Structure formats: structure tokens, C-alpha cells
Amino acid sequence: NHDISSLRDCNGMFSPANVKMLVEASSFKDAILYTPMRAPRTLSKVLSTVLKSVAPKAKDAMTSSLAMTSSVTEKLGQVLFGHSSRDFENAIQMKTELLKELSQARVSIGADEEGREHLQRTIANLSESNASHRRARETAEQALKLARQESAQVELLKSEKIDQLESLSKLYQNELVEGQQTIKNTLCRTEKLEEENEALHAHIEKLRVTHGTKGSMLSAIQDELDEQRNTASVLRNGVDQLTTQLRDKEKLLHVVKQELVMRTTKVA
């Protein structure tokens, strides 16, 4: 046996199975026998009230179970018309109780609908949050990947720099050894040059002594040459004077010749 109150907490309140269970429940028959008398109502009003109460919230469920609803209505009619007026009133009372149950079911369905919408919003928010977290994780993974790549590049550059420094160190070391050898060779050459310079200084001193005597002779010759130059200059001046005198005498002779020619011409 099934009790009507057990149907209140069911999610499918008006499913075909639950409606069938309601009709066949023992409490339905017990309600007919023990419900007090109330004012009579027509069957059409009862059915209209039931449909108006159920239709707003159970439209989707009713659409899929119209055949079962017609069967239940037919059974209710058979039950109502198959008993006495007392049974009819009891059935009406049962319908009233059913309406109360339906009203409570509507409230429950509304609450469930709100809960479902809230759950859907929560799920949407969680989905959005998960998407945001996923994007953040992807961004972090991408940043980590880039950081690893940069780290690898830094390590490679570091290795290259170390190799370059080692090569430069070897090169500088070789250059230092060569420089030290060059300095050593330069010192040896400098010592040799100093020895050669000392020998040259000694030879220069000898030449200076030798040139001192020859310089005295050269000075005497130079003095004699200067005297000869002076004498030649005096002679040159005398020659110039004689040349001038000779020119003057030639001019005078030319004048005398002209006078002689003129006198000869006059005498003739």
C-alpha cells in the first residue's frame, strides 16, 4: 500500500506513474469513507480547478502524459458516479485535499525551479571561473615555458662567454709570455747598444783629437784663402776703375777725333 503523503517529496509529482499510484492508493478509498460531508460541487468544476492548478507548473510534464491524464480522469469519473451522494462528497473532499497537495507541489516546484536556476547560475559561474583559471594556468604555463627558454638561452650564452673568456685568457697569457721574452731580448739588445755606444764615444774622442790638429791647419788655410779673396776683391776694384778710366779716355778720344775731322774739313 502507498500513502498520498509519500508523494509530496517526490520530484516527479504529476508523472504518470505517481498519478496511477494516487488512484490505486488505499488512502484514496479510505478518504472516501471517512471524509466529513461538505457542500456538493459539480464534477466539471472539480476537474476545471484541478487542471487550472496543475497546468501552469506541470505543462511540460502534462504534454508528455496526456493519455495517462485522460485515463485517470475517466477512472475518477467512474469512482465518483459509481457511489452514493455521500461518496460523491467524499470524492470532492478528496479532490480538495488533492488541490492542496497540488498547491504545495506548485510551491515545491517553484522552489525547485529557483534552486535549479540558482544551480545553473552557480554552474555557469563555476564554468567561467574554471575557464578563467584555465586561461590563467595556460598563461602561467606559457610564461614558465618562455622563462625556461630564456634560462636555456642564458645558460648557452653563459657557456659561450666562459669559452670566450678562457680563449682570451690563454691568448693574453701567450701574449704576456711573448711580451716578457720581447722585453728580455730588448734588454739584451740595449746592453749591446750601450757597449757599442761606449765604443763609439771612445772613437769619437779619438777623432776629435785628430780633427783638432787638422782643424788648426784648416783654419790657417782658411785665413790665407780669406786674404787671397780680399786681394782679389781689391784687384777687381782696381780693374773696374781702370775700365772706367779707359771708357772715359775712349769717349775723350772720340771727341778729339770729331774735332780733328771738323778742322780738317774747314782747312780743305
The DSSP string of 102-163 is: HHHHHHHHHHHHHHHHHHHHHHHHHHHHHHHHHHHHHHHHHHHHHHHHHHHHHHHHHHHHHH
Residue-wise pLDDT tens digits, 161-174: 888 888 887 887 88
Q: Say what the pLDDT of residue 167 is.
A: 82
Q: Which amino acid is at 232?
A: A
Residue 218: pLDDT band (50, 70, 90) is confident
Task: Tell me which residue range forms the domain holding 44.
Answer: 4-133
pLDDT-wise least confident of 15-19, 29-33, 224-228, 231-235: 29-33
Question: Which among 128, 111, 5 has a CA at the least distance from the CA of 57?
Answer: 111
Q: Say what the pLDDT of residue 166 is.
A: 81
The answer to whether residue 77 scores a pLDDT higher than 70 is no
What are the two backbone dihedrals, phi and then psi, of residue 38, each rounded to the nearest 5 degrees? -135, 175
Exposed/middle/buried for 188, CB within 10 Å: 0-12, 13-18, 19+? exposed
What are the two backbone dihedrals, phi and then psi, of residue 83, each rounded to the nearest 5 degrees? -125, 180
Q: Which amino acid is at 53?
A: S
The answer to whether position 65 is within a domain reads yes
The answer to whether position 11 is within a domain reads yes
Q: Please give the C-alpha separations between residue 105 and each of 57, 96, 223, in angstroms, as whole numbers.
A: 9, 14, 157
The answer to whether position 185 is within a domain reads no
**Owner of C-alpha cell 475517466:** 74
Structurally, how many domains does the chain consist of? 1
* Averaged pLDDT score across all residues of the chain: 70
Rounded Cα gap, residues 170 and 87, in angstroms: 118
Q: Say what the pLDDT of residue 118 is.
A: 80
**pLDDT average, residue stretch 103-115:** 73
Share of residues in the chain with pLDDT > 90 (%) = 0
pLDDT-wise least confident of 70-84, 178-192, 200-214: 70-84
Between 91 and 241, residue with greater pLDDT: 241
The answer to whether position 34 is within a domain reads yes
The answer to whether residue 66 scores a pLDDT higher than 60 is no
The answer to whether position 223 is within a domain reads no
**pLDDT average, residue stretch 223-227:** 80
**pLDDT average, residue stretch 116-139:** 82
Between 70 and 208, residue with greater pLDDT: 208
The answer to whether residue 131 scores a pLDDT higher than 80 is yes
Q: Give CA 265 to chain center in angstroms.
A: 132
**pLDDT average, residue stretch 197-211:** 78
The answer to whether position 103 is within a domain reads yes
Rounded Cα gap, residues 206 and 112, in angstroms: 134
The answer to whether position 39 is within a domain reads yes
**Owner of C-alpha cell 602561467:** 140
Between 43 and 155, residue with greater pLDDT: 155
Q: Say what the pLDDT of residue 33 is.
A: 43
> Is this model's pTM higher than 0.75 or not?
no
The answer to whether position 253 is within a domain reads no
* Helix 66-81 vs helix 85-267: crossing angle, to nearest 10: 160
